[in-house]
Amino acid sequence: MRVNYEEYLVDDDLHINWYPGHMKKTKDLVRDNLKLVDVVVELLDSRIPFSSKNPDIDKLAGDKPRVVILNKSDLADRAKLDKWIKYYKDRGIKAIPMDTMKGVGLNKIVDECKDAVKDKMDALIEKGRKERPIRIMIVGVPNVGKSSIINKLTGRKSTATGDKPGVTKGKQWVRLKGNLELLDTPGILWPKFEDQEVALNLAFSRAIKDEVLDVETLSLRLIEKLMVIEPEKLKARYKLEELGETGLDTMDMIGRKRGFITGKKELDYTRIATTVLNEFREGKIGRISLEVPEDIKK
């Protein structure tokens, strides 16, 4: 069975393809407005910096100064997060870990953006030009936390937020403190997923809507991954002495441990699936990073 949705095509094996639609319009919007900004701020999910990076951004940004924000740092494994910070540092890009909820790293965004264009602004003043606001473009995949960060930077609810991808619908300029102006854009994804591991990581983090996915299979894939990279955290969260031989065995064990049984005395796989996915996304299983720089394919 294959189900066709507005933006996705999902088959029985959870093979995810991306259909351009409004995402193409957003890409064109970024390209058309890039000339108006001084700095590109790229938001990534700290748990999946590679998977949450849009490969088009490098081409679109070109030689524009860039600042990378590793958001949701409170949910990521600290040691692995440090590896990503070093990865970007080695490439001449400042990567700032950030926890939007607590505001950690917030002030560094403004400071780094100012630092990135200091020479340009100093040169304008030397030429007798009037000082103007530093213009920033903020880009990232859906549900990576752009609207929340903007709200923190402005100190007011200037743009809609939500725990679902696609809340930001169009371009808007937002005035920030410190003589900065920020151009917000909707989240961007590329036209198709060439790497299904990337697609799954995005789905695990909810950059792709649960409503168009088979959450039971998605949860099973997440359990299989956690059994490999974080078995002890998985056992601790669900009070399991050992994990099953397969992902499905472990899923069954979690269901029985939590008492997710239907009236027919059968395991409630939908409840198991939503519980595991939500508890991963909320950090209840632990601080987990799904990838490290060494995973990037050469």
Residue 2 lies in a domain: no
Whether 58 and 169 share a structural domain: yes
What are the DSSP E strand ranges found in the chain? 2-4, 8-11, 16-18, 39-45, 66-71, 94-98, 134-139, 172-176, 180-184
Whether 32 and 99 share a structural domain: yes
pLDDT at 18: 54
Q: What is the mean pLDDT of the chain?
A: 83
pLDDT for 88-115, tens place per residue? Answer: 999 888 899 998 777 777 788 888 888 9
Whether 62 and 143 share a structural domain: yes
Tokens of 207: 């950059």
Phi, psi of 39 (to 5 degrees): -135, 140
Stretches in the chain below the pLDDT threshold 70? 1-24, 156-172, 184-193, 297-298
pLDDT at 121: 85
Provide the angle, in degrees to the nearest 10, between the axes of the packed helices 196-204 and 215-229.
100
Q: How many CA atoms lie within 13 A of 277 on its CB side?
A: 26
Whether 180 and 222 share a structural domain: no
Whether 220 and 97 share a structural domain: no
pLDDT at 146: 81
User: From CA 271, how far away is CA 283, in angstroms rounded?
Assistant: 18
Whether 106 and 227 share a structural domain: no
Residue 13 lies in a domain: no
Residue at which a domain ends, from 163, 184, 205: 184
Domain count of the fold of the chain: 2
CATH code: domain of residue 227: 1.10.1580.10
